[in-house]
Structure 1
Amino acid sequence: MANRDLSKYFILDTNVLLHEPLAIYSFQEHNVVIPMTVLEELDRIKDRQKDVSRDARVAIRSLEDIFKDATPEDIVEGVPLSKLEDTAVGHISIFADHNMTQEKELFTEDEPDNRIINVALFLQRIKAPAQVILVTKDINMRLKAKGAGLKQVEDYRTDQLIDDIKLLSKGFRQLPGSFWENVENCETTTDGRDTWHELDEHLIENAYINEYLIDETKLFAAKVVGHENGKVKLLDIGRDRMLARHAWGIHPKNVYQSMALNALLDPSVDLVILTGPAGCGKTLLAMAAALELVIEKGIYDKVIVTRNTPDIAENIGFLPGTEEEKMMPWLAAVTDTLEVLHKNDECPNGSLEYIMEKANIQFKSVNFMRGRSIQNSFVLLDECQNLTASQLKTIITRCGEGTKLVCSGNLAQIDSNYLTPVTSGLTYIVERFKHFEGSANVYLNGVVRSRLASFAEENL
């Protein structure tokens, strides 16, 4: 018991279990405390018609699996926290915070956050010198807890892959000077119009599949296509050839857009992740590529456009019309893009209706993507910065054979209360998929919407 008293005690807030329903297993070597207030909040949330209700139910089921054979005394004292018999070193318990007397409390009981903070303060006092840590994704709650005298308060960062958003992969590497000046040995092969180079991998350290390479000469452009026996294999694209590519009448305005378009038009790339500031052309390039691949080349059968929308499950049902018509207010950015693509037509409205029918463009709610199997489609998932890793996994696993998924978002425009640029699902998939040969990501550097938008992005 002495060793257990000196271990750490982690009090988990409700939002941690909603963010990661199996978060309790991230504290295997320590003691986890779940206040009764957290169970009550999960109970209220589990029946809501929202995406978060699923996470609440998963969290409740995981707790039930642990406590199903425990006695009331065991639940209060703590049961082994492990899915494996030989690694049970931590414990998990439920703290009945409603039984705390008034003199043990610092705050009144009218707010769930206050009751959870009271539990942490109480345990900090009676478990000393053991460390008691409140884990919450609520920034204001962390501030309240620190102000109340709690020594240790943390965000839940177990699923965080990078410490700083500046370390996030951009999908390309800008090399100084001339690339070829530093190359001594190179084996080149040609097949038709394609040229490959094999170089010593120390020239391009930590390169990953489908990473683009450019240099300052404005001539060289290549893509990493393989690693083998200390060699890295490059596909020579050529800066001018890459800038000359176009889709549905749209030509790239800079080298970053040309790299994005190269990935979008490549049928061998199943997942394209586009990040960057507002106005850099993410949606425009994606829709232009979608129309090109569906109508002109016939590679895919249809275009499915979807996005995360705050409170969509509650609000969408009150709007008139079909699912597509209900989604239109949230997908105005896409319809605006379609109008831009056809603004020079003789009859823009007629062209728009014809193209939407010809490309079989469907607007879907993210809530209705679960359970589907999407085949032979070009799927555009917009505003991904507001999705968690588990939500993105749900959508990505819907993609069946012959489907291309484009995820786009701006990490500077996160609306979620519990997500930051480093914990966003968009950041998560950029890091997780960067070594997957079927994916490519590009950070579109620079605003091309207008000089007004460019100035605002840099100075506001």
Structure 2
Amino acid sequence: MEKLFVLDTNVLLHDPMALNAFHEHRVIIPMTVLEELDAIKDRRDKDVSREARIAIQAIDKILFNASPSAIQAGVEIPSSRPDGRNGTLAIFADQLISHDSDAPYLDGSVHQTNDNRIINVAMHLQATRPDDYVCLVTKDINMRLKAKGSGLTNVEDYRRDRVLEDIEYMAKGYEHIEGDFWQRIESVETSRDGALTLHQIDRAHVPHAHVNQFLLDDKDFVGHVRSVSENIIELVDLSRDQLMHQRIWGLKPRNMEQAMAFYLIQQQNIDMTVLTGPAGSGKTLIALAYGLHAILEERRYDKLIVARSTPPIAEDIGFLPGTEEEKMAPWLAAFDDNLEVLHGNDESPFSSIEYVKDKANIQFKSLNFMRGRSFNNAYIVIDEAQGLTQFQLKSIITRVGGNSKIIVLGNLAQIDNKYISPLTSGLTYLVEKSKHFAHAGIMHVNGIERSRLAAFAEENL
């Protein structure tokens, strides 16, 4: 039995390199998908058009030397599989399918969606190849429902981008241990490194611990995982009181999650900090406060870059009047709000904010216009990262140059991309893939610190 996977356009836009995800099996791309990619590659939405072009180039790289008959039959997809079994890629001319075939037929006229024409391909293959496994792969939930309702047996979401089966298991950056942590430890080796107290314990006691994770119990112990080897975990012994009395640019933590985020973001060996959590938990405020502190007091960086993706309704901010910062102002107002919080008690808050913006060299950028650039000696804050794909986040993080630090912020409960869920968000992927990297830190800031009304809305509405 051969396995045939019919790909929808949104799969290739979500992961332009998806052709390599189906191992030794057969990948079918309907002609309608190529037509949609061709239309999308010239859109003003820079992210989507770029991914469409990359997908087209990936297809061309496989098929460019093949004959028309070979393209319809299937061309081998190059890969480095150890068993030498490579999959094949074929283009299916779905415009040739008609309603007089044996397969159920959805109206594929111009008055109907292209989804119907793609579903028809899978239906046609299922009817003409009954002994094979034919599966439609799409990230469009409604399209999956239509396909199943039309009689298609196998319909799936694209799952290569899933690093978890349940979002509840996503790394939070800390592990709470019930009772007294030291009661379960049989032996420990304690040493000093300057002002730090270090403990080395058997990894078997906390088998899932990762570097830069916090361990805290119901007593007073808080430990920061400094390193993890095959058998040993090295912990930095921290004081709860010292953590709760940290100050950054006049800001102090209100709960333990914020306190751990304060500690994490100040570590000089950590180049990337990912802060997740609900709205009002203080993620943006913490990131901004340390950025101002690092630039204006420590002189560690030359500029503070704040970036986020503009929504689809604003595909091209070039049509808006003003400078790039002025064009981005409507979508980055949250940072102005946080600057007001940090300087609200000053004698002249407006003057203080304008002074800080100038002295810290704060620049507001759209992620749509960060491609191809490198940022050196910069403190970079990426806001609203939950709506980005793995591919988009990777392309942003690879822009980080020397002596720079990047802070990635996101709330998985506020995803507004119809093709992205908490399980497939680039933010979830980044957290799980970077948690074992020695120069990355993760913290889920859970407390709602805006107001009791905000806390009620987050939990009940």
Q: TM-score range, shorter-chain basis?
A: over 0.9
The one-letter code sitting in structure 1 at the alignment partner of 2:141 is I
Q: 2:137–2:155: 8 Å Cα contact kept in structure 1?
A: yes
Q: Which residue matches 1:182? A: 184
Q: Which residue matches 2:11? A: 16
* Cα drift, residue 352 of structure 1: 0.5
* Cα drift, residue 320 of structure 1: 1.3
* Cα drift, residue 420 of structure 1: 0.5
Structure 2 SS opposite 1:188: strand
Q: Which residue matches 1:103? A: 100
Q: Which residue matches 2:167? A: 165
Q: Which residue matches 1:339? A: 340
* Cα drift, residue 82 of structure 1: 2.8
Are 2:213 and 1:203 aligned? no
Structure 1 SS opposite 2:331: coil
How many correspondences in the alignment? Answer: 454
CA distance in 2, matches of 1:113, 1:378: 43
- Counterparts of 1:129-148 in structure 2, within 5 Å, are 129-148=131-150
CA distance in 2, matches of 1:239, 1:293: 24
Q: Which residue matches 2:364? A: 363
Structure 1 SS opposite 2:315: helix
CA distance in 2, matches of 1:330, 1:12: 34
* Cα drift, residue 84 of structure 1: 5.2
CA distance in 2, matches of 1:62, 1:184: 55
**5+ unaligned residues in a row in structure 2: which ranges?**
none
CA 1:229–1:55: 2 relative to 1, 3 Å: closer
Structure 2 SS opposite 1:241: helix
* Cα drift, residue 267 of structure 1: 1.7
- Counterparts of 1:272-283 in structure 2, within 5 Å, are 272-283=273-284
Give the alignment's Cα RMSD to 1 decimal.
1.4
Q: 2:253–2:262: 8 Å Cα contact kept in structure 1?
A: yes
- Counterparts of 1:379-398 in structure 2, within 5 Å, are 379-398=380-399
Q: 2:44–2:316: 8 Å Cα contact kept in structure 1?
A: no
Q: 1:80–1:88: 8 Å Cα contact kept in structure 2?
A: no
TM-score, structure 1 normalization: 0.96
Q: 2:203–2:230: 8 Å Cα contact kept in structure 1?
A: no
CA distance in 2, matches of 1:143, 1:31: 23
Q: 1:273–1:440: 8 Å Cα contact kept in structure 2?
A: yes
CA 1:373–1:312: 2 relative to 1, 3 Å: farther
The one-letter code sitting in structure 1 at the alignment partner of 2:340 is E
Q: Which residue matches 1:3? A: none
Q: Which residue matches 1:66? A: 62
* Cα drift, residue 89 of structure 1: 4.0
The one-letter code sitting in structure 1 at the alignment partner of 2:241 is D
* Cα drift, residue 228 of structure 1: 3.4
**Worse overlay, 377-386 or 69-78:** 69-78
Are 2:118 and 1:122 aligned? no
The one-letter code sitting in structure 1 at the alignment partner of 2:195 is R
Q: Which residue matches 1:439? A: 440
| CA shift digits 1:204-237 (9 cap, x unpaired) | 11211100111111x2111101123621100112
Are 2:265 and 1:264 aligned? yes
* Cα drift, residue 313 of structure 1: 6.1
The one-letter code sitting in structure 2 at the alignment partner of 1:22 is M
Are 2:81 and 1:81 aligned? no
Are 2:22 and 1:31 aligned? no
| CA shift digits 1:160-179 (9 cap, x unpaired) | 11111011000101111111
Structure 1 SS opposite 2:187: coil
TM-score, structure 2 normalization: 0.96
Q: Which residue matches 1:191? A: 193
* Cα drift, residue 411 of structure 1: 0.3
CA distance in 2, matches of 1:248, 1:233: 30
Structure 2 SS opposite 1:412: helix
CA distance in 2, matches of 1:90, 1:428: 26
Q: Which residue matches 2:415? A: 414
CA 1:315–1:369: 2 relative to 1, 3 Å: closer
CA distance in 2, matches of 1:180, 1:428: 33
* Cα drift, residue 28 of structure 1: 2.5
Are 2:415 and 1:405 aligned? no
CA distance in 1, matches of 2:455, 2:100: 57
Q: 1:49–1:313: 8 Å Cα contact kept in structure 2?
A: no
The one-letter code sitting in structure 2 at the alignment partner of 1:156 is Y
Are 2:52 and 1:56 aligned? yes
**Worse overlay, 68-77 or 78-87:** 78-87
